[in-house]
């Protein structure tokens, strides 16, 4: 469904735009996702709307066929947010050790304390961090909008599956420019 409206208390949630992940090869260039996400962050801040910057600092402990879980160490700076996001003191920061930004973090409490009823999602990877966060937000009762030109993935098929099959069941979608046009006038 095309994005139709944004609630008065909508937060931008930026998923895993950090040094280690943005350096990976992706379907759409990370630089474009970063630029669009940074534009949305600046617009949300100009309207005194919450901006949540999420990074991943570890892995869930469960065993899987994809490699080691649990106690994985990443190189120095791997989890550092990209500077283009222009992190501000009022931004909410969430560090996670699993795919989604809700489970095992204080994100839901931070949003509810601020009266947030809707989130706009951007980031990497579409089929992992973004989709998991969208699923959790949907189950928690938030309205969700996904900026489809501000998400990307390392796998083209997984990216397409999320955009075409999963997100339409969880959220409204739109381009960065369409979402910017739905924001109220800056303060």
Give the pLDDT confidence score for residue 65 in this predicted structure.
Answer: 67
Range 86-100 average pLDDT = 97
Q: For 126-172, what is each residue's pLDDT tens digit?
A: 999 999 999 999 999 999 999 999 999 999 999 999 999 999 999 99
Give the pLDDT confidence score for residue 75 in this predicted structure.
Answer: 81
Range 25-38 average pLDDT = 97
In this structure, is residue 6 part of a structural domain? no
Q: At residue 72, does pLDDT exceed 90?
A: no
CA–CA dist 103, 67 (Å, integer): 21
Q: At residue 68, does pLDDT exceed 90?
A: no
Q: How confident is the model at residue 70 (pLDDT cuts 50, 70, 90)?
A: low
Q: Is the pTM of this model over 0.85?
A: yes
**CB distance 162 to 153 below 8 Å:** yes
Q: How confident is the model at residue 63 (pLDDT cuts 50, 70, 90)?
A: low
Number of folded domains that form the chain: 1
Domain that holds residue 33: 13-54+80-117+126-169
In this structure, is residue 49 part of a structural domain? yes
Q: How confident is the model at residue 74 (pLDDT cuts 50, 70, 90)?
A: confident
In this structure, is residue 185 part of a structural domain? no
Q: At residue 87, does pLDDT exceed 80?
A: yes
In degrees, rounded to 5, the angle at the alpha carbon of residue 187 between the alpha carbons of residues 41 and 183 is 50
Q: What's the chain's average pLDDT?
A: 94
In this structure, is residue 59 part of a structural domain? no
In this structure, is residue 95 part of a structural domain? yes
In this structure, is residue 138 part of a structural domain? yes
Q: Which residues 6+ apart lie within 8 Å of 132 measured at CB?
A: 98, 99, 100, 101
Give the pLDDT confidence score for residue 129 in this predicted structure.
Answer: 97
C-alpha torsion sign, points 172, 52, 124, 34 = positive
In this structure, is residue 21 part of a structural domain? yes
- Percentage of residues in the chain with pLDDT exceeding 90? 86
State residue 168 phi and psi, 5-degree precision. Answer: -60, -20
Q: What is the CATH classification number for the domain harbouring 27?
A: 3.40.50.850
In this structure, is residue 146 part of a structural domain? yes
Q: For 102-138, what is each residue's pLDDT tens digit?
A: 999 999 999 999 999 999 999 999 999 999 999 999 9
């Amino acid at each position: 469904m095309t994005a139709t409206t944004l609630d008065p208390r909508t937060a931008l949630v930026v998923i895993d735009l950090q040094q280690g992940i943005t350096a990976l090869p992706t379907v759409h260039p990370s630089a474009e996702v970063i630029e669009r996400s940074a534009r949305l962050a600046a617009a949300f801040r100009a309207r005194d709307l919450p901006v949540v910057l999420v990074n991943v600092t570890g892995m869930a402990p469960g065993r899987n066929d994809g490699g080691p879980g649990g106690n994985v160490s990443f190189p120095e700076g791997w989890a550092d947010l990209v500077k283009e996001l222009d992190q501000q003191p009022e931004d909410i920061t969430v560090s996670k050790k699993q795919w989604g930004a809700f489970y095992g973090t204080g994100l839901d409490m931070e949003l509810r304390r601020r009266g947030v009823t809707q989130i706009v999602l951007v980031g990497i990877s579409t089929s992992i961090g973004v989709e998991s966060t969208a699923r959790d937000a949907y189950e928690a009762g938030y309205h969700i909008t996904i900026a489809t030109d501000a998400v990307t993935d390392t796998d083209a098929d997984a990216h397409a599956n999320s955009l075409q099959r999963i997100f339409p069941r969880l959220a409204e979608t739109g381009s960065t420019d369409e979402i910017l046009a739905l924001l109220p006038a800056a303060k």
